[in-house]
Structure 1
Amino acid sequence: MNKLFQQQIKEEKDVLLVAKPDRRLLSKVPDKEGVRTNLDRRQVKDNEGSSDISNLIEHEKMGRRYLVNYDVSIEYVSADKKVTCHGKGTDISTTGMLIEVPHEVAQDLSHASQIKLRFIITPGSMPEGYEMKVNIAAKYIRFDKNADGKTLCGVAFLESLAQYATKKKNWYMLSVAAFFLFFISACILLMRAESVLYFKFNKILYMYSIIAATFLLTRYLFGSFYRPVPIDKDFTPGVTIIVPCFNEEQWIQRTISGCINQDYPIDKLEVIVVDDCSNDQSFKKIKEIVEELKIKEQRYDIENRVYCVRQEVNAGKREALAKGTLMAKHELIVFVDSDSFLDPFAIRNIVQPFKDTKMGGVSGRTDVANTYTNALTKMQAVRYFIAFRIIKAAESYFDAVTCLSGPLSCYRKDLIVKHMDAWLNQRFWGAKATFGDDRSMTNFILRENRTGYQDTAICNTIVPNTYRIFLKQQMRWKRSWLRESLIAAVFMWKKEPFMALSFYMGVLVPLLAPLIVLYNLIYIPLTHRVFPLTFIIGICLMALLMSMAQLFLRKSSTWIYGLWFCLYYEAVLLWQMPIAWFTFWKTTWGTRMTPADLAELLKKNSKKQERA
């Protein structure tokens, strides 16, 4: 039965960044003895000569190397002679490149007075925003032979690729994006001014238009005011990372490695992986990576810092998270999904807001790991970025983030324990809640505490790359959103007035959206013979606003897919909302074989056999 289910949800191969392997499995973990820290290793100093964690993080990101396969045109001057030849780029960072060249060319480059490189950074081979044609000056560093006997020449760029991108393309991207953001906002405001003028002719329709525009523009406005909490390198509370796993054999080892490979004090970080009785090779993979870490990285005390446990029966994600929480020895609990990969500085960043003793939970930023797989994943990459950098950032401005997302979120342990029974036994209209664990726990925390968002705490997650799985995921999310929004509506009025008003507008707008679309695109044209030009322009402006925000903030070529997402939302995703109204009681995940999904599949197969 599981094979049948897997065939039904078969996905295409994901395209991910390929980082150059480090000889150490835990290259970012500080020395156990504390003799040398990552700051010492990289010799990063601020302007006054003191160690600076922010500079370390920036320096480390610039030095990250990615395996590539670029055709490189090399132009150099040696012995007053200009020579042009070709090589093959094998790995790259923002500061330099390793190029496969003939041995004699490598020798010439070692004496060259000038070196010029031309190559194309293809989408997906480096982080978003770097895809471009490059014509950059470089200097020779060294050359060596690899195991295959090929000559590899290392060069350093005279300016970083980030600096090069700023000079070459970022200035006009920012200018164009800024212009359109202003123009779009002005158009939306003018259109809503028209709604005020004609309000008396259709009070309900124009009231909805005013509310929707106000909600949208204020989110972007307050999102622009947001700033992450800066790092205090001396603030390192104890952290336990809980990774719930169910049928995640493909990614779980990478997830565990990312969780333990953190720039964080060894004695203040532990990882607990709870396998929820997977029926694939997940638990075997978990044990393999844990044993490998114990053997190869003994000096990092893996024996007492990484634990794996297995539930005897498939009890559900909440039960797995609860089991790990009760085992945890530290005061902060970080939940990480089993297909999400932490940045080496994610934990150091996500704990910073907890310097505020009233902060109960914090969400990190989730980027898409498989962005460049296809159009669907690119569309989701834009949506994720806007959802976190704009929507959650705006909520965090008022200390009231309404969903501490599953891929990366942090809570005070005492608060999880306090609400654990209610969380595990949550029922809605008689049905047991089996998903939406992140929104549900957020609601428990948000009733009496603050919740925040830390944009600098980054993880990358795998998103669906087929529409079949994507639609199932979105339906599950809409059901949990509907349930938890109705629950939050009971207490959100107690929060800061503007945040409370924004929340209720945010609930009202998507609930009524299907009716509004039907009214404008079907009823008005049929009954009044009027083409809904204004409504269509409004949709296009909202789509362009998302795309321009992505371009302005991330400078990525994926910005165009923001338009596609908004149009796809209006044509397809919007109509999942009415279905969610009447199927909120369903407990199936749709994206993996939980007991509820198995029961549903068996039921469908029985009906097919009866009809046959």
Structure 2
Amino acid sequence: MNLPLVYYVLGTPLGVLGLIRWGAWLIRRIPAVTYTPIAGDHPASLAIVVPVYQEDPEILATAIESWLANRVDQIVLVVDVSDTICQDVAARYPVEVIITDVPGKRDALRRGWRAARTELVALVDSDTIWAPDVADEVRKPFADPRIGGVGTRQSVYGSSGFLARITDMFLDHRYFDENAAQSRLGRAVSCLSGRTAVYRRRILLDIEEEFMAETFWGVPCLSGDDKRLTTLTLERGHLTYMQRTAEVLSTFPTGWRVFFRQRLRWARNTWRSDLRALSKPWVWRHPFLAYTMVDKGLSGFTLLLGPGFFVYSLLQGNWIFCVVLVAWWQLSRAAKLLPHIRRRPSSLFFVLGYVAVSWVMAFIKIYALVTIRTQRWGTRQVAVENGEVVRTGSDPVAAVPIPAPPGALELPVPATERERIPA
């Protein structure tokens, strides 16, 4: 096949870049293959803290039952005052309930871990369902006193459409590649997902002031709580680990609009956290963690060069070259997704869809960098206005005392009185 000179002028650097990207992947993949979950027992007390805001009542009930089945020591639900339906659901179970009229997730998390009376605290999303042995599995890494936080492995719950399949592929790629490698090399996972992340309570109390006061370029941070908690834990000299034997299920967007908004929020959070981290000395004490942050930041730009070259080839009518390129994407991505395809062989037919969505996510990542100061939450009616976190719904909740359901706890004391709370 005779190709115009432009293909060699452009194709040769792209080929070299492709080899570099494969080398970058192998740097992660080789240690990831050698990852093993931590075994043994560690009988530490464990509480579950759950911020609840307009959750599907059936999902919430299923999640609560899964947490109770794990026989944890304490379950604390911090429910927004406007969410009377979830308050009624929580009242049916032997859990502790805190009613809050403060908008935003961060304050709810803080109220929850202050109410905990255990050594370990699991921060859990209200749509996350635990396997029967999660509590036992997430305790095990804490036998190492250096471990400050532990993450779990996630899968998609309750949907089987295209986006659900693609999301499941991205999740497995994360837990069998990036997080496994970070756990293996240095025990420094960059982000313990907020769907279920377990911390030593004393660490949460130690970092809460910085957590609540986080700003970026003078704007208070509204989301990104999981990334921030992980970063502050690592900054304090503790280690973080992914315990892949602790499996949880969670709901994910099935519509494109919500998917885009969620990914945009996540991308902004990642840019803010990683750029801040790379400017500080602590991250360079974890060389592999720093490497993955840099590599992740660059990949959003390099990923779009391939489809750009593909579009150029289509416009030039070089169909054979286009077919070869599509075949390469199918084979190369399937190789990188092999752990997932072993679990779900039918995902082999979704590989090109995965490739296309990864391009969309690369565009989102670049847009997120351009709009990095924007603070919005796609699923909560809260936003940052004039430097403050406020409700954005049509029916604002008045900041007045409200009756709590049976068994509810009094609201914990303000942040300025943290020293009065025993650790």
- TM-score bracket for the superposition, by shorter chain length: 0.7 to 0.9
Q: For residue 379 of structure 2, what is the aligned residue in structure 1?
A: 591
Displacement, 1:222?
Answer: 2.0
Q: For residue 79 of structure 1, what is the aligned residue in structure 2?
A: none
Residues 375 and 383 of structure 2 are in contact (CA less than 8 Å); yes or no, is this contact kept in structure 1?
Answer: no
* 1:193-213, Cα deviation, whole Å (9 max, x unpaired): xxxxx9999997566434321
Equivalent pairs counted in the alignment come to 379
Q: For residue 284 of structure 1, what is the aligned residue in structure 2?
A: 88
Question: Which of 18, 43, 65 is the matching residue for 1:236?
Answer: 43
Correspondence list, 1:336-415, <5 A: 336-372=124-160, 374-398=161-185, 399-415=187-203
Opposite residue 298 of structure 2, the aligned amino acid is L
In structure 2, do the counterparts of structure 1 residues 221 and 272 end up closer, same or farther at CA, with 3 Å as the change threshold? same
Alpha-carbon distance in 1 for matches of 2:268, 2:46: 31
In structure 2, do the counterparts of structure 1 residues 498 and 587 end up closer, same or farther at CA, with 3 Å as the change threshold? closer
Q: For residue 250 of structure 2, what is the aligned residue in structure 1?
A: 461
Residues 176 and 339 of structure 2 are in contact (CA less than 8 Å); yes or no, is this contact kept in structure 1?
Answer: no
Q: For residue 76 of structure 2, what is the aligned residue in structure 1?
A: 272
Q: For residue 544 of structure 1, what is the aligned residue in structure 2?
A: 334
Alpha-carbon distance in 2 for matches of 1:444, 1:348: 25
Q: For residue 129 of structure 1, what is the aligned residue in structure 2?
A: none
Displacement, 1:404?
Answer: 0.2
Deviation larger for 211-220 or 453-462: 211-220
Residues 360 and 445 of structure 1 are in contact (CA less than 8 Å); yes or no, is this contact kept in structure 2?
Answer: yes
Deviation larger for 403-412 or 379-388: 379-388
Verify: 1:501 aligned to 2:291, yes or no.
yes
Alpha-carbon distance in 1 for matches of 2:137, 2:159: 24
Q: 1:281 is paired with a residue of what secondary structure?
A: helix
Residues 190 and 289 of structure 2 are in contact (CA less than 8 Å); yes or no, is this contact kept in structure 1?
Answer: no
In structure 2, do the counterparts of structure 1 residues 205 and 557 end up closer, same or farther at CA, with 3 Å as the change threshold? closer
| TM value normalised by structure 2 | 0.80
Alpha-carbon distance in 2 for matches of 1:357, 1:442: 16
Q: 2:76 is paired with a residue of what secondary structure?
A: strand
Opposite residue 67 of structure 2, the aligned amino acid is C
Displacement, 1:349?
Answer: 0.4
Alpha-carbon distance in 2 for matches of 1:467, 1:348: 36
Residues 190 and 227 of structure 2 are in contact (CA less than 8 Å); yes or no, is this contact kept in structure 1?
Answer: yes
In structure 2, do the counterparts of structure 1 residues 472 and 496 end up closer, same or farther at CA, with 3 Å as the change threshold? closer
Displacement, 1:355?
Answer: 0.8
Opposite residue 593 of structure 1, the aligned amino acid is Q
Q: 1:313 is paired with a residue of what secondary structure?
A: coil
In structure 2, do the counterparts of structure 1 residues 381 and 525 end up closer, same or farther at CA, with 3 Å as the change threshold? closer
Q: 2:365 is paired with a residue of what secondary structure?
A: helix
Residues 262 and 344 of structure 1 are in contact (CA less than 8 Å); yes or no, is this contact kept in structure 2?
Answer: yes
Residues 478 and 580 of structure 1 are in contact (CA less than 8 Å); yes or no, is this contact kept in structure 2?
Answer: yes
* 1:336-380, Cα deviation, whole Å (9 max, x unpaired): 1000011121011001001111111110111111242x1221221
Verify: 1:323 aligned to 2:111, yes or no.
yes
Larger Rg: 1
Displacement, 1:272?
Answer: 0.8
Displacement, 1:241?
Answer: 1.0
Opposite residue 69 of structure 2, the aligned amino acid is N
Alpha-carbon distance in 1 for matches of 2:9, 2:309: 17
In structure 2, do the counterparts of structure 1 residues 538 and 380 end up closer, same or farther at CA, with 3 Å as the change threshold? same
Question: Which of 416, 419, 424 is the matching residue for 2:207?
Answer: 419
Alpha-carbon distance in 2 for matches of 1:431, 1:270: 35
Alpha-carbon distance in 1 for matches of 2:180, 2:337: 17
Over 6 Å off, 4+ runs: 198-204, 523-527, 597-602
* 1:312-349, Cα deviation, whole Å (9 max, x unpaired): 232x1111111111111111111110000111210110
Alpha-carbon distance in 1 for matches of 2:32, 2:48: 28
In structure 2, do the counterparts of structure 1 residues 582 and 216 end up closer, same or farther at CA, with 3 Å as the change threshold? same
Q: For residue 300 of structure 2, what is the aligned residue in structure 1?
A: 510
Alpha-carbon distance in 2 for matches of 1:203, 1:558: 31
Residues 382 and 561 of structure 1 are in contact (CA less than 8 Å); yes or no, is this contact kept in structure 2?
Answer: no
Opposite residue 477 of structure 1, the aligned amino acid is W
Q: 2:51 is paired with a residue of what secondary structure?
A: strand
Any gaps of 5 or more consecutive residues in structure 1?
Answer: 1-197, 294-305, 603-612
In structure 2, do the counterparts of structure 1 residues 334 and 493 end up closer, same or farther at CA, with 3 Å as the change threshold? closer
Alpha-carbon distance in 2 for matches of 1:322, 1:340: 19
Q: 1:275 is paired with a residue of what secondary structure?
A: strand
Q: For residue 256 of structure 1, what is the aligned residue in structure 2?
A: 64
Residues 365 and 455 of structure 1 are in contact (CA less than 8 Å); yes or no, is this contact kept in structure 2?
Answer: yes
| TM value normalised by structure 1 | 0.57
Displacement, 1:480?
Answer: 0.8
In structure 2, do the counterparts of structure 1 residues 454 and 227 end up closer, same or farther at CA, with 3 Å as the change threshold? same
- Bigger relative contact order, structure 1 or 2 (CA pairs below 8 A, ≥6 apart): 2
Q: For residue 399 of structure 2, what is the aligned residue in structure 1?
A: none
Aligned-residue RMSD, C-alpha = 3.0
Alpha-carbon distance in 2 for matches of 1:308, 1:601: 23
Residues 189 and 289 of structure 2 are in contact (CA less than 8 Å); yes or no, is this contact kept in structure 1?
Answer: no
Question: Which of 284, 292, 309 is the matching residue for 2:98?
Answer: 309
Q: Percent identity?
A: 24
In structure 2, do the counterparts of structure 1 residues 546 and 263 end up closer, same or farther at CA, with 3 Å as the change threshold? farther
